[in-house]
Structure 1
């Protein structure tokens, strides 16, 4: 019998069992539904051994938490490193120590010949049941690390698909299903930020898995500096999933650490995993968020760079009249910033536009009862700026690099750069009544280096310590930097620069696989959308924003009286419901009509919910399919109201019950048969409210 060590992380939702054979690196021998307390874990470890046959080496190299080249591992290894002479390192780690905590273990393995120590921090988070896994490598001498994987997890053989994430500016969180096949699916995001095209997530599932049914294994790498993902099927059929920093982003040194890898098993479809991520982000990652969440107004698409004090006061007054509770002054208030070609880095108030500083505008905004917020893009610099003329040496990357959005990047690894930015931002915050920062990041990086993101984290941490009352939004041309790493330091994300409600419906729907409503900014944009050119009715624009942290981003003076009345009504509804909705689970609904995007927001106690069903385009059939709900008590009775039944078109000529009165029905009926809704035009939305009787 081989010497076997085992570890078991378990709660009511999932179990993870690891085993180390002969003191070698541990491997996952079970991950799935919770095992009974009577389960003999040592037996499971022995039962995990697989056979060998012709054409194979005499033992299977393990898919360990860090697969080793020294074990003749046939796939992607968990560590690629070189010594000072440039020679590849092939460590052979053995057990050194373990430390148990209340919710996990720290396991340490060493290679004394090479002076290396590999540590795994393994936690199953209480309440939210997420695996939080992190790898650290220590060396007694300076080495070069090209790749270090967070603890490696297997993908089960019976689930043959993966859902990965891509996207672009104004179309973030695109999902795509791919089949598992022999070989490696590799995503290497070398943009230096989370990026629109590379959200660091993956979901392994079956062909039958949908929002409300089937199994799913979900992964998220909580890091803002670019990541590498490997989803690999070995020739022998075993599978592994690896996440870590983008390749070549780690430098020479003696200590290297991955970001946390968060993972969850769900037997209840995609929603089962999504809810765990939503709850963990809302309740354990984000700290210091304003409660209740204030209705947000941002002036960018109203004025762009054309700052006139009287106009801004007028806009603020109109926004307050419509229900706004926060006013954010966007780009253009500093330096000589009349367009996007100058002044980044010169964080001083432009006295051409604000001869008396920001005080007159802030005083007006505060008198309206609104919080005042302001825009910064601290990591960037224009060549046409006083800062660049003084410190061209502060620029990240080579002088001949391609510019991005006519701007360069500051080297955030430099302490003097961070000190300068801190002092300028702190001066603005200390001398003005400001409660909110929109922190932007509008280009990819010319050099991929993890120290850049570490420097950003350090600056954010210092500012939050000095100004704990100031909320910060992570914006990167919209959704270019959204991950659990940045959310540990911010309270809101700007999901996308697209204020097109139809685009937003899809983006919000897919982002809900990981993000809660409380941190997800969503705004009512202009009637004529600036990013899509589409003209949309105020109804779908307002209700789409009301599905997340609601705000406005247009010139509110463009609204007709009818549009203003609708916006006030929806904003009032959101305020009346935000306390429970911002703590609700977002459950994506499986619509049998692909023209409909629908979700159900279910309160913590399950006693109330809201359903949003958006008709994105014309349906292929004449009449609406019933919309089946989820997450209800089948034995309970619920009362359902069609909140916006007055929006029914004249072409809806029949008499569906919900168009006339409320419906009372069992949870079983609502989940099995579903709601029969009135006919409607495309580019409209139905909103329903439910209460358990």
Structure 2
């Protein structure tokens, strides 16, 4: 029997193989003692055999094999060049043990070689894994799972993520039962509907306590997720590219990275592992020492109606509010008067900008802001010079259903990528641009992994040529958010909805995977353009201040009171951003379902801020105490209500925090909690804490 283990301070993962067969995960949980006998662990893991079963239980291996009579979803489905299904029997070849565990297996008769790579990060506590298949002769791949993990038995449900345009990051809770929870995204991008993540909480786990495991598949194309309970009670989790998205035959296939982690401190333990790994290992900022700038985007101020004097006026007003970056959105290029024309013709519109973008950029720089520009490189309108010259560049059939009046370019073609690089590169060389908003406003006509690989190649080439340019991933808002695209970009636009109430919940759920520093959140117009709701400026501003703060409205609409509030909240965010953008976002267990609350805790634990948003009217009259988390029990903390002036007239009592600063122990704050003043729905309290 062969055995391997991966360890960090939070978890141990043990793999064992029976002879030369593929290994299976026989333990995943709290760290095991260094001297634990792994062969004994393997024997103790084995389940019994009884009537109605095979005489030996097929292994729930890292790539379950149909040839071994495995009763569930196999980890590999492959056909030869003529379409005949192959039945691999992979056997051990070699193991490399170092910073990562790399396992090699092969089926010599079929000419197949399988490699699995697993590693654990000692600081972020993230397990990364991937699989690779090589073949002697070209084959057709229907399915290749990243290394397969077991799911815990003492779990009653699983949590995955769904959504829609302007309603991203909605959590589904599905009970475990015999059979498969099967989700497959075939839209060709990560998708609003199918964020590639899964959380399996232990029984009675909450945000702040209990055991949980979680997964994320870092791929920007379509993906498949399988969470299966076998007839014998074992459970498996598989992730990989959406089935059959490698359309052509080939001899080399790879999964994306599957990220996995175990937590003994509730969902927050999983969340902080993802947040830290994304921030500290995945995203590579052009200037890591640069503070995240306050962002201004002009889209909801002017849409396609670009006018230089108006944009200069807006830029001046945005800078006065505290903005440090100005982003010119859609509508700046030749012939772009609406969303039906000109996509792919990436030349500055001489009608709107007779002297080019230089005068606007110079004005933005004079206001002490950097300049960013919108592109949608992967798309084309039929009403464009590019499409008229190259209709064959469009992906899919000529009679396909368009989306947002546009088609997708075939990013697998080198000539398409060369053209896009030349146009974008020219703009970046001609103008002082340090930011790109990279949009993607329609799903693909068919899922195709080559499309994603082509987009990655273009992004990699542009980043190599312009290493100082920061890139935002936007796909009609949150339609392409994953660790794969974030290896090449630096910020995501979580949603096209700037509705602060919708954002409050979306940001809360997205924090299960995303840190604040990459999550764009903007103060929108007084009346939200996507929901029609009107929210007070204090609520809009503080919700945006929970993440990478920005504005996306016409600043000319602001009253002096609104401008004053926005300046004050922005100044507060600037004062705190250095530590907040490196903080852990901890979702709090609120006794009041109407209260959506989080605690952002500095990496050294010395300070925190709590955002307690009231998303609806409470069932009880007075607010229930809000318990905090992850504090030092016997330390004392000074806590202060930042926005106590926002208390309405109907808050008629004198709770201590409303009256002034408090000093209490970590034990008190975690066991009893903070008692907040009463407030209306669609309001938020902001509490600062510091260890003394």
TM-score scaled by length of structure 1: 0.99
The question of 1:171 aligning with 2:133 is answered no
Match of 1:118 in 2: 114
What is the DSSP-based 3-state SS (H/G/I as helix, E as strand, rest coil) of the residue aligned with 2:452?
helix
1:516 is displaced (CA, Å) by 0.2
Tell me, in whole angstroms, the C-alpha distance in 1 between the residues paired with 2:484 and 2:92. Answer: 30
Given candidates 180, 185, 204, the residue that maps to 2:181 is 185
Secondary structure, aligned partner of 1:91: coil
Instruction: Note the alpha carbon deviations across 1:267-322, whole angstroms, 9 max, x for none.
Output: 10000110010000001100025520000000000000000000000000000000
- Structure 2 CA distance for aligned equivalents of residues 112 and 335 of structure 1: 58
What residue number does 2:327 align with? Answer: 328
Is 1:160 paired with 2:156? Answer: yes
Q: In structure 1, what is the Cα distance between the partners aligned to 2:174 and 2:204?
A: 13
Secondary structure (helix, strand or coil) at the match of 2:484 reads helix
Equivalent of 1:81, from 75, 78, 81? 78
Out of 600-609 and 45-54, give the one that drifted further. Answer: 45-54
Match of 2:375 in 1: 376
Matched with 2:22 is: 25
Deviates further, 598-607 or 43-52? 43-52
Q: In the alignment, what sits opposite 1:46?
A: 43
Counterpart for residue 241 of structure 1: 237
**4+ residue runs of structure 1 moved beyond 6 angstroms?**
none
Matched residue, 1:661: 660
Q: Secondary structure at the match of 1:430?
A: helix
Q: Which residue of 1 aligns with 2:219?
A: 223
1:176-222 Cα offsets, whole Å, 9 max, x none, are: 11111000010010000000010000001134111001111000000
Alignment partners' CA distance in 2, 1:625 and 1:98: 55
Aligned counterparts of 1:601 and 1:226: Cα–Cα separation in 2 = 32
Q: Is the 8 A contact 1:288 1:468 kept in 2?
A: no
* Structure-1 residue corresponding to 2:31: 34
Say which of 62, 69, 74 aligns to 1:65: 62
Q: Deviations over 1:56-88 (max 9, x none)?
A: 111111110000011011110001110012110
In structure 2, the residue corresponding to 1:165 is in which secondary structure? strand
Of 128, 131, 137, 2:124 maps to 128
Q: SS in structure 1 opposite 2:163?
A: strand
| 1:447-483 superposed Cα distances (whole Å, 9 cap, x missing partner) | 2110100000000000000000000000000000000
Contact 2:11 2:262 in 1 (8 A): yes
CA contact (8 A) 1:412 1:451 kept: yes
The answer (yes or no) to whether the contact 1:78–1:152 under 8 Å persists in 2 is yes
Match of 2:352 in 1: 353
For structure 1, the 5+ residue unaligned runs are none
Q: CA deviation at 1:550?
A: 0.2
Shift in Å, 1:520: 0.3
Task: Show CA shifts across 1:392-417 (max 9, x none).
Answer: 00010111111111100000000000
Tell me the distance in 1 between the aligned counterparts of 2:74 and 2:611: 45
What residue number does 1:451 align with? 450
Quote the offset at 1:616 in angstroms. Answer: 1.0
Q: CA deviation at 1:224?
A: 0.2
Structure 2: unaligned runs, 5 residues or longer: none
CA deviations over 1:412-437 (Å, ceiling 9, x no partner): 00000000000000000000010000
Contact 2:436-2:472 within 8 A present in 1 as well: yes
Instruction: Report what 2:193 is aligned to.
Output: 197
**Contact 1:439–1:472 (Cα < 8 Å) also in 2:** yes
- The corresponding residue for 1:487 is 486
SS of the residue corresponding to residue 297 of structure 1 reads strand
Q: Distance in 2 between matches of 1:74 and 1:37?
A: 34
Per the normalisation by structure 2, the TM-score is 0.99
- Which residue among 238, 243, 251 is the counterpart of 1:254? 251
1:28 CA drift (Å) = 0.5
Aligned to 1:272, which of 269, 272, 275?
A: 269
Equivalent pair of 1:188/1:228 in contact (CA under 8 Å): yes
Deviation at 1:126, TM superposition (A): 2.7
Correspondence for 1:630: 629
Partner of 1:99: 96
Q: Secondary structure at the match of 2:556?
A: helix
- Corresponding residue of 2:505: 506
SS in 2 for 1:539: helix
Q: CA separation in 1, counterparts of 2:656 and 2:558?
A: 33
CA contact (8 A) 1:69 1:77 kept: yes
Residue 465 of structure 1 corresponds to which residue in structure 2? 464
Which whole-Å CA distance do the structure 1 matches of 2:368 and 2:7 have between them? Answer: 49
Q: How does 1:299-318 map to 2 (within 5 A)?
A: 299-318=298-317
Q: Secondary structure at the match of 1:168?
A: coil
Distance in 2, matches of 1:657 and 1:56, equals 65
| Aligned CA-pair RMSD | 0.7
Counterpart-to-counterpart distance in 2, 1:517 and 1:289: 17
TM-superposed CA distance for 1:45, in Å, is 1.4
Give 1:49 deviation, angstroms.
1.8
- Counterpart of 1:149 in structure 2 is 145
Whether the 8 Å contact between 2:212 and 2:270 is mirrored in structure 1 is yes
Which piece of structure 1 moves more, 37-46 or 459-468?
37-46
Quick check: 2:286–2:467 contact (8 Å CA) kept in 1? no
Q: Which moved more, 1:444-453 or 1:318-327?
A: 444-453
The offset of 1:635, in angstroms, is 0.4
Give the drift of 1:43.
1.1
1:157 alignment partner, SS class: coil
Q: Are 2:580 and 1:584 equivalent residues in the alignment?
A: no
After superposition, give the CA deviation of every residue in 1:19-50 in whole Å (9 maximum; x if it has no partner).
01111001001011100112111211122222
Does the 8 Å contact 1:147/1:250 carry over to 2? no
Give the match for residue 409 of structure 1: 408
Partner residue in 2 for 1:11 = 8
- Rounded to whole Å, the distance in 1 between the matches of 2:337 and 2:124 is 47
CA contact (8 A) 1:163 1:178 kept: yes
- Give the deviation of 1:226 after TM superposition: 1.1
- Encode CA deviations 1:131-165: one digit per residue, 9 max, x unaligned: 10000000000000010000000011111210011
